[in-house]
Amino acid sequence: MSGRFQPLAKTILKNQWVILFSVLAFAAAAIWQTALFTKNQQLEQIRETGESRTTLYTNSLKGTLEKYRHIPYLLSRDTRIHSLLKAHLPPIKVNPHLEDFGIKTDALIFVTDSQGNTVASSNWRSDRSLVGKNFSFRPYFLEALQGKSGGYYAVGLQTRKPGFFISYPVFETGQLLGVVVIKVDLEKLQEIWQESGETIVVSDSHGVLFLSSRPEWKYRSLRPLPAKTIELLRKVQYLQQPLTALEVRRQTTDQGNILILDDVTFLEQSSQLTEYGWRIHYLTNLDPVSKVARQAMAIATVICTTMLLGLLYIRERRQKIMSRREAREAKAIKQLNQLLKLEIEEHQETERTLRHTQKELVQAGKLAALGHMSAAISHELNQPVTAIRTFVASCKIFLEREQSGKVVENLDFIAQLTERMATITGQLKTFARKSKGRRESVDLGRVMSRVLTFTKLQFSDNQVTLSTDLPGDKEVIIKGDSLQLEQVLNNLIHNSLDAMTKSSNKIFHIELKSDAGYAILSCHDSGPGISEKALGFLFDPFYTTKDIGEGLGLGLSISYGIVHEMNGTIQADNHPDGGAVFTLRLPLAETSQQENRERLQ
């Protein structure tokens, strides 16, 4: 054996440098791929988190603004403000009213006349009172003059505090009397953003950041602005703020939009607030991603280095091990042969056990299938056999009375029942798989009448009052198998008769109608109803609420399969007036044809 391994050993020794360089190349590729995979995984997690956080902050900002939207509208209906603007009431009567509103809403509220002059304000006691100030140049005032609700973010001329101004016009008999304005302070929301430790900024249509969790970025723009635009914004909106442009570098990558601000790399995720003309930006610092990638690269490097050192160690030890290996190979092979022999014997024993078990399982399966089939056939044949007995008894009575016409009629019914018994075994396939039977146009009303004729004597024997509500001469045509439908109705009727065995007032009501392209058939009995537990399992095979020996629990399961195969539904409920009600919904013939055409399309 040792002679066969010597050529292989020499080949390995000759190519050891090739193997070494191959291992180094593989290690370098593995380190790079590890870092790249780690980085992509981190970016994917950041994107998912950023999307949810962007939505959260967007909804928070909208919610803060919208909760104040109705206040100017309500105040525009205030009679005191109307009287003030018509000079029927002095400002001293209105200012305290606005002051109360301002305290409760934590906002600044003021009223201007149609020329933009402030005639009342909630801060009338303050040194920075707005009373007497003119705001006709502000966009929110100009929008109110047009009869619309205005909105505008700006730094207050008098208060020197920023906020979002919401305005609403005051009309009376179609004439503009003035404007009600509320100023919403967003600084508290901004402070919450700062405390969160996350980077959130809001920019206007010019790219100016007027809300920011980083104070040093506030009132700076994401792009250089023309001098005229800066001058206008300083005058109308941001007063004497610098409005200088941030040093922004953008990179569009597969991972998303990358921004470099203040030498920090961010992943940008934003959402447009169309109704305000703003955009909210959620920025995620990517330095931790690079750090994690470097850590992964370092770990991969350590692993690859360890593996390389191990290979080098193996290379140095190979000569010594080779001489010892030849001595051990014979012994190892002998031991291996013994282990293989034992393992083969164990496998053979296991295979014999499995074959024996398989035979037992096959036999058990045959017995189970035979039992299920016998139970189903017995259950389904019981109903027509009972009906035949009933008709035979009727024939005897009619013969005694010499009513041969009735006898012939009963014999026809018996013939139909025997034909049905001959096809019942074929129908049982709906219990296990979809029916391959041919569907035909069936008048559901005639099927009901035929079934009720079959079971009329059983109603009489059980002292059950039969109540029907049928569509009269109007046909209710569906696509289905009349014999299967008789089977379903027979099952529902006999279940109801069994349920009313102990009832004092036995009434069975069956109703047929058509509505919205469906035939709706309902059977209502005056029995004890269905328990909550049974409602969930009523159509499961072999589930029954009857005593042992009185039912196998297959009737409703088979009925469910038949109705489902006809594209219909069957539902069991407890009636509000007591008892159980079973409702069948089957598509009318035209509806079924339309559904088939839609499937083909």
Please provide the DSSP assignment of 259-287 as one string. EEETTEEEEEEEEEETTTTEEEEEEEE-H
Residue 90: band (very low, low, confident or very high) from pLDDT cuts 50, 70, 90: very high
Residue 1: band (very low, low, confident or very high) from pLDDT cuts 50, 70, 90: very low
Q: Which of 113-117, 163-167, 552-556 has the lowest mean pLDDT?
A: 552-556
* pLDDT > 70? residue 11: no
* pLDDT > 90? residue 530: no
* pLDDT > 50? residue 280: yes
Strand-pair category, 518-525 with 507-515: antiparallel
Instruction: Return the residue matching tokens 């039992």.
Output: 371
SS3 397: helix
Neighbours of 591 (CB within 10 A): 18
Residue-level pLDDT at 378: 66
Contacts of 81 (CB under 8 A, 6+ apart): 75, 94, 111, 120, 170, 178, 180
Q: Name the residue with higher pLDDT: 431 or 446.
A: 446
In percent, the amount of the chain with pLDDT more than 70 equals 78
* pLDDT > 50? residue 433: no
In whole angstroms, give the CA distance from residue 215 to residue 194: 9
Residue-level pLDDT at 386: 80
Residue 437: band (very low, low, confident or very high) from pLDDT cuts 50, 70, 90: low
**pTM for this structure?**
0.46
Contacts of 495 (CB under 8 A, 6+ apart): 555, 556
Give the burial string for 52-69 (b: 16+ CB within 10 Å, else e).
ebbeebbeebeebbeebe
pLDDT digits (tens, 9 = 90+) for 180-210: 999 998 888 888 888 888 889 999 888 888 8
Q: For 365-387, what is the mean pLDDT? A: 57
Neighbours of 391 (CB within 10 A): 22
Average pLDDT value over all residues in the chain:
79
Residue 597: band (very low, low, confident or very high) from pLDDT cuts 50, 70, 90: low
Residue-level pLDDT at 15: 64
CB 533 within 8 A of CB 579: no
- Dihedral pair phi/psi, residue 52, rounded to 5°: -70, -40
